[in-house]
Structure 1
Amino acid sequence: MPSFASGYGDGNRAFLQAFLARNTLTLDTGKPIIAAISTQQEGRPIQAEDITVEDLDSFISQANQKLSPLDLEIRSTFHQQNRERVYALINTTSDPMTQLATTYTADEIIYVKKLLDAMFEGRNNRGRKEAMCLSAIDAIKLGRMAEKRRETQTENAPQSTAGMLGPKEAEVMLNKLSAEGWLEKSEAGFYSLSPRALMELKAWLVDTYNDEDEDGNSRNKIKFCHACKEIITVNFFRVQRSRNCPLCDTQWDGEHYVGEKTITTASDYRAPTGRRQINNRPRSPVEEEEDEQDEDDMET
């Protein structure tokens, strides 16, 4: 185990720079960084396998002391699929959408809001469905859909063209959001919020999507694990073998899921392998969307 000098020095600055370049960090991705820093500081080879979670926590703790006056903090959560702890740099004060305004255009920010609305208020989140994700083709379709106003919207209200993106523009935006660590794309082709996004948008998601119906009953579309208190968008992680809910003791029927399984287990689900082919290759979501747009233009 390397011996780290006390205090904040060049090694800590190097660690923070490496962190900022990656958006997120895990123990596995952090080990080589700390090993390289330790090798340079101690003048002897330090192997990545010699780095422990305590070493990583020490670097993060010292970094947070310097970041706190800037309203920034490195926080962590468990990845909902593999249960790996993920660390991300979070802005603790400003509105997340205000932060996006520094790197995205107004139309792109509106598109992001449409993505979030579709994930948490779309057709796959009604009744007993709780998908909280979006297929690639649906995400691209959102680009040419008019923005829906959440407040005082009427049927006769003029539709805004703000946030309208073509299929290729929408695909570029989705790739950008994924590369920057805001979205994750599953093997089945569904986009969902990444651990970084769930940490960064936590308060905003609750304020935006958890409200009351006309009868005053709460509608909590953003749900939290009763054990770790983090947002759940994929499944209910459990260590007990019982299929009964630990709170209400209701038995799970084995049919209703949380996450993309809500969609992929439905009888009308069409898997990506069922797409039409061009030259023996599956059509991309952009190609399918452009074809649908051409068909709509012909009908009109």
Structure 2
Amino acid sequence: MVSSNDVQCLFLQAVLSRRVMTREVALKLWEKCIDAVKAANDALDIEFNGDRNSWDNFVTQINEALNPLNMDFAQMSDEITGKEMCALVNRKGDEVAQLATEYSALEIAYFKAVLHQIMTAPNEAFCITSMAALRETNNLNITKSQAEVVLSSFVAKGWLVKSRRGRYSLAMRTMIELLPYLRSTYPNNIIECTICMEVVTRGVSCYTNNCHTHLHAHCFEKYRKRSQNCPTCQANWSTEANSKKLERIGEAAYKEGQDVRRRRPLQDRPESDEEDEEAEAGASQPSQPSQPSQPSRSQAKKKRAVREDSMDIDEDEPEPEPPKAQKRKSRR
């Protein structure tokens, strides 16, 4: 018999088929699920109301039903557009393990390696180049050609984003589905928006020393409409010069060559990497002028014997006459 609980079942099935979606799409799915259940049972009195309170109550009911399964219907704002996004996420154990449904253990290990480089990128860039991503194959049993195919799959499935400059960063799907994993694994690298308190990997930060203000780009634009001062240190952001001084977060903060020499700890690297690094270190040191080497004893004996042989005189040859001594002119 069709009941009102079937609305939640239909809604979750629709969410699973779409993974990540905007709140507007989720509202439309909710409405269509209600219409489908009412069409199957006219006796049901279910009304659709798209206001915020009704939506929040519906999400609470869904999460209560998903709680025994260690799953959650999560919501997060997109860092670029500011739109509210929704997705069904796994809250049990190692959240990256959910990739096993579509990737092998080796491919998941490679994803973790790339994810590590993105999260620990210097200057709060939260991105790496294609070469840096492919360099992670040195620590895994995977070829670079295979890695290129897997990277393309990560982008196509919505786990990573590849910019026009060929740099990889976290996609919205990773941010919303793997957020607990990111927080537990990289607590010292996670930064939060001062306004919405969500994770920031793209945005701006205050230029004042020791000020920990970080803002999404969309949060920054909304905030500046009501205030021209930093919400933490009250620095004046009103002038154009001060606005340009704001530091960037994300790919805009990337500095050329910042990940060229990034390496894993020595104990985690193969011997070939260590030899390459030693060769690079030797090449980077200025060459010292060569010192004349001291001859060994055997070499010295050979040289002395040669000199003695060259000084021997052949008895058959006449001995050269000594030069006549020149008389010195007397001074008068």
TM over 0.5: yes
Which protein is richer in helix relative to its size? 2
Quickly say closer, same or farther: Cα 1:188–1:15, change in 2 above 3 A.
Answer: farther
* Higher normalized contact order (CA 8 Å, seq sep 6+, divided by chain length): 1
What RMSD in Å do the two structures reach over aligned CA positions? 3.2
1:112: Cα distance to partner?
A: 0.9
TM alignment of 1:1-300, pairs within 5 A: 8-43=4-39, 52-54=50-52, 56-122=55-121, 125=122, 129-135=123-129, 137-138=130-131, 140-142=133-135, 144=137, 146-147=138-139, 162-167=140-145, 169-186=146-163, 188-210=165-187, 220-235=188-203, 236=215, 237-238=219-220, 239-241=222-224, 244-250=229-235, 254-255=244-245, 256-263=247-254
1:107: Cα distance to partner?
A: 1.8
> Secondary structure of the residue that 2:124 maps to in structure 1?
coil
1:103: Cα distance to partner?
A: 3.8
Contact kept, 8 Å, 1:31 with 1:51, in 2: the verdict is no
Gaps of 5+ in 1: 1-6, 45-49, 148-161, 211-219, 270-300
Quickly say closer, same or farther: Cα 1:203–1:254, change in 2 above 3 A.
Answer: same
Q: Aligned partners of 1:81 and 1:165: how far apart in 2?
A: 33
Q: Aligned partners of 1:59 and 1:240: how far apart in 2?
A: 30
Quickly say closer, same or farther: Cα 1:102–1:268, change in 2 above 3 A.
Answer: closer
Q: Aligned partners of 1:9 and 1:201: how far apart in 2?
A: 28
* Aligned counterpart, 2:298: none
- The structure number with the bigger radius of gyration is 2
1:88: Cα distance to partner?
A: 1.5
Contact kept, 8 Å, 2:91 with 2:180, in 1: the verdict is no
Report the TM-score, using the length of structure 2 for normalisation: 0.58
Equivalent pairs counted in the alignment come to: 226
Contact kept, 8 Å, 1:143 with 1:164, in 2: the verdict is no
> Secondary structure of the residue that 1:233 maps to in structure 2?
coil
Quickly say closer, same or farther: Cα 1:56–1:192, change in 2 above 3 A.
Answer: farther
Identity of paired residues, percent?
30
Gaps of 5+ in 2: 41-47, 204-214, 237-241, 259-332
Contact kept, 8 Å, 2:6 with 2:37, in 1: the verdict is no
Per-residue Cα deviation, 1:181-201 (whole angstroms, up to 9, x for no partner): 322344554432233322333
Q: Aligned partners of 1:51 and 1:183: how far apart in 2?
A: 35
Contact kept, 8 Å, 1:23 with 1:181, in 2: the verdict is no
